[in-house]
Amino acid sequence: MHLAIVQTDPAFGEPAANVREALSLMEGTIADLFVLPELFNTGYNFTDPKEAALLAEPPTGPTFQALSGFAKKRNCFVVYGFAEKADVPFNAAALVGPQGLVGLYRKVHLYHKETTLFAPGDLGFPVFPLPFGNVGMMVCFDWLFPESARSLALRGADLIAHPSNLVMPHCPDAMVTRCLENRVFSATANRIGTEDRGGLSLSFIGKSEIVTPRGEILCRLGEREPGIAVREVDLMLSRRKSINEWNDLFRDRKPAQYERD
C-alpha cells in the first residue's frame, strides 16, 4: 500500500482555509492512506476552553464532510486530528474512508495547557481493520508513554497513524524505538510554524516521518516547509514478531513481572 504523511502550516482559527491547504497538498498525490497533523484544521494554541469549544466540531462536521468526500472520490483513507465537540471536548483523531467514518480516537495523554481545554480520551486505543492492514491511532504526546504504542500493537495494529503538533525535539527519534519495540510501522504527521497567542508562544518542529518495524526512517520532512511524502510499504511485515529462532517479541513478554507491588 502507499502511505502518505502531510505536513501543514495552519492559520489559527481558520478551519475552512486550513482544510483547503491540506487538500491542495493531497490532490497531487496518489496514496491508500493519508495522515494529517493534530488539530490540523483549527490550529493548536487555544487561549481558553471557550475558544476551544467554539472551534470544535462533531465527528461528522464540516472537516469530516470535506475529507470523507476526498476519500470517496479517491477511494482512499484519511486520518486527521481535530477538536471534537461532545458533552465534553476532546482532542481527537478520525479515520475516514470511501464509506464515511471508520473510527475515532480521543487523545489519552494531554500535554501542557491541553489539560485545561480537553477531557482525557475515554475510548482506549482501538484498532481498525482496513483492506491493506490494521490501523491504530495515537495523538502527539501519546508517544512519550510506551503503553500507547504497545497497547495498539497488542491489539493487532500493523500501523500507528500519529497526528501531531510537536514542540519538543525528541519524538522523531523516539518513534524509531516505538517501532522497534513493537515491530510496527508508524506515520507521524506534524505541523510547522509558530503560534503566539495569549502570552504563550509555541514553535512546531516539522520532521514528519514514516518509520518501519525495523526502525528504518523511510522519509522525514523538513522543519520549515509544508509538504507531503509517500512511500510504498507492506504492512504485513508488522506481523513478524520473531527476533531470532529463540525470541519472539510478544511471546517473550512477562506481564506478571511488570506488576507493581
Residues annotated as part of the active site: 38, 107, 140
Task: Judge contact between 176 and 215, C-beta under 8 A.
Answer: yes
Write the CB contacts of 227 (distance below 8 Å, at least 6 apart in sequence). 7, 25, 208, 221
Q: Which of 146, 140, 72 is nearest to 106 (CA)?
A: 140
Triad 154, 186, 107: Cα angle to 5°: 70
Write the CB contacts of 36 (distance below 8 Å, at least 6 apart in sequence). 6, 8, 22, 78, 79, 80, 81, 163, 189
Task: Judge contact between 162 and 143, C-beta under 8 A.
Answer: yes
